[in-house]
Chains A and B, each alone.
Chain A
Amino acid sequence: MRALYVAASGMSAQQTRIDTVANNLANTSTTAFKKSRGAFQDTFYQELATGSRGTRADLGGGVQLAGLEKDHTVGAIRDTGDPLHVALEGPGMLTVVGMDGRDYYTRDGAFRLDSEGQLVTAGGLQVAGDIVVPEDTESLRIAEDGTISAVLAGDEGHETVLGQLEIVGFANPSGLRAEGGNLFSMTPESGDPVMDYDGETRVRQASLEGSNVDVAEELIELVMAQRAYELNSKVVQAADEAMQVASGLRR
């Protein structure tokens, strides 16, 4: 009974859609969260019959998940007033150094200082560029290109450059792997990080980027997935009934 397996593949595809919506909705207030969407494709086709006039009929095997893709559209940027917070306008990403020493990429610029004055992410990872803010800093300025400068006590308004945020871009950001904790890592699909990608990305100080999840859109996706799940389950029912009818042949 092919219809049973085909319908089962359809139900599992819709289940993936529902799971994705659940994860997106759970992150409506996660800083710089990027929503995901499942991409589906039909599976193999088998030749079923050749008609008398050379026509062909193929029967499909159902549906499969081609991949979950992150939607990298920019979320709404809001002011926070914290001079250590940064949001990115444009497609770039900030480089941070993971616990394992590898580079990770994020758009979550909710930075803070650790006990030694080192600029770190909200999760405590070091921001690439080894930026240390001295204790006697009076004010801090982060320029559009990511240069961080400070006015130190007694310098009478003279700025000292502390370092620069490493902003990179990717040929195919959808190919980045989400590592959790708002971090992404590069994959063969995303390509290597390119420094100063496109020159398009500008840093905005004292702001954070919101999640790009649109609740209304997710709810519609949820309703559609639920209905499609139901339709596929009706096929299971019909296939089951057909088998029952077939077994009723011999009484």
Chain B
Amino acid sequence: MGQDLYAALSGAYTSLRRLDTVATNLSNASTTGYKGQRLTTEATGADGSYARIAEGLYDLSDGAVQSTDHPTDVALQGRGWLVVDDGDGVLLTRDGRLRPAPDGTLTAPGGRAVLGERGPIVVPPGETVRIEQDGTVVASASGPLDRLRLVEADASPLGGNLWRPDGPVLDVPDGQLSVVPGALEASNVDPMRAMVELVEASRTFEAFQKAMQASDETDARLNEMGRS
């Protein structure tokens, strides 16, 4: 019975996972700061005739800047992240929908404190707050409170628009990353590209199905030969 049948199956499996990835990307077409994902495959097995998923790669290019005029919305442009407090460690995000919590702490989506260069940013009671071009958080009466901390790191997505750093978290040199106040970064999923990937994944899946069928037919013929 054909080893080729299982080789084709491994190819069919990877095409379906690609379809899943395209589905995830398109479902997040309006998710703030979402980064498109794709999968790479690699050859495996003794003679390298099987395919398997090797790595998930993220397209970290900027999404479009959408103006919201909200004084504490920020869009990042360039490589890097906002930093979110996670107890003993930090998480990263590109979703700049920052809001003061009831105790005044400026929080990122999900309710965790967003970090400034000196730690959590607390808005004094009774004051409004806005964020300026260089990331400085300014309170209406008390003036500048702190500057948003901007970092660079390799990261993997966690869900809820948060990412977990995979390695060291380094401060970004000035000028590499710009903060656009009063705006949010749109998802960077390109519908055209996603549709091409969708067509490719379904056609590849079909081709592997044909290969499995052909392998099955060959086996059937062999069985018939044995009978005559």
Write the residues of chain A forming the contact surface with B, with a CB cutoff of 8 angstroms: 1-4, 6-7, 9-10, 13-14, 17, 37-45, 48-49, 51-53, 55-63, 66, 69, 71, 73, 91, 169, 171-172, 174-175, 188-192, 194, 197-198, 200, 224-225, 227-228, 231-232, 234-235, 238-239, 241-242, 245-246, 248-249
Contact = CB atoms under 8 A, between A and B. Distances in A.
A235 B123 CA distance: 45
Interface in B55-76: 55-56, 68-70
B198 A191 contact: no
Contacts of A189: 99, 101-102
A191 B159 contact: no
Given A41-B159, A57-B55, A227 B23 contact: no
Contacts of B151: none
Contact of A56 (B17, B156, B194): B156
B21 interface: yes
Interface size class of B (residues with CB under 8 A): 35 or more
Interface of B: 12, 16-17, 19-24, 26-32, 34, 37, 39-40, 42, 44, 52-56, 68-70, 95, 97, 99-102, 104, 109-110, 123, 125-128, 140-141, 156-161, 191, 194-195, 198-199, 201-202, 205-206, 209, 212-213, 216
Contact of A200 (B19, B31, B110, B128): B128
The 3 nearest A-B residue pairs measured at CB: A10-B27, A51-B54, A55-B55
B65 to A, nearest CB: 15
A57 B95 CA distance: 22
B159 A61 contact: yes
A169 B126 contact: yes
Given A40-B28, A56-B55, A198-B141, A241 B209 contact: no
A47 B101 CA distance: 33
Contacts of A7: 23, 26-27
A13 B31 CA distance: 9
A18 to B, nearest CB: 11
A249 to B, nearest CB: 6
A198 B126 contact: yes
19 contacts: A1-B16, A3-B16, A3-B20, A6-B24, A13-B30, A37-B68, A43-B159, A49-B54, A57-B53, A61-B24, A61-B159, A63-B30, A71-B68, A172-B101, A194-B125, A231-B191, A235-B22, A238-B198, A241-B202
Nearest to A212: B69
Nearest to A236: B23
Nearest to B16: A242
A245 B54 contact: no
Nearest to B141: A198
Nearest to B212: A249
Nearest to B128: A198
Nearest to A37: B68
A36 B95 CA distance: 18
A37 B191 CA distance: 22
A49 B28 contact: no
Contacts of B17: 48, 59
Contact of A6 (B20, B54, B70, B95): B20
B123 A57 contact: no
Contact of A228 (B29, B34, B53, B213): B29
Given A60-B159, A232-B26, A245-B205, A239 B19 contact: yes
A194 B16 CA distance: 55
Contacts of B201: 238
B120 to A, nearest CB: 15
Nearest to B184: A39
Contacts of A57: 39, 53-56
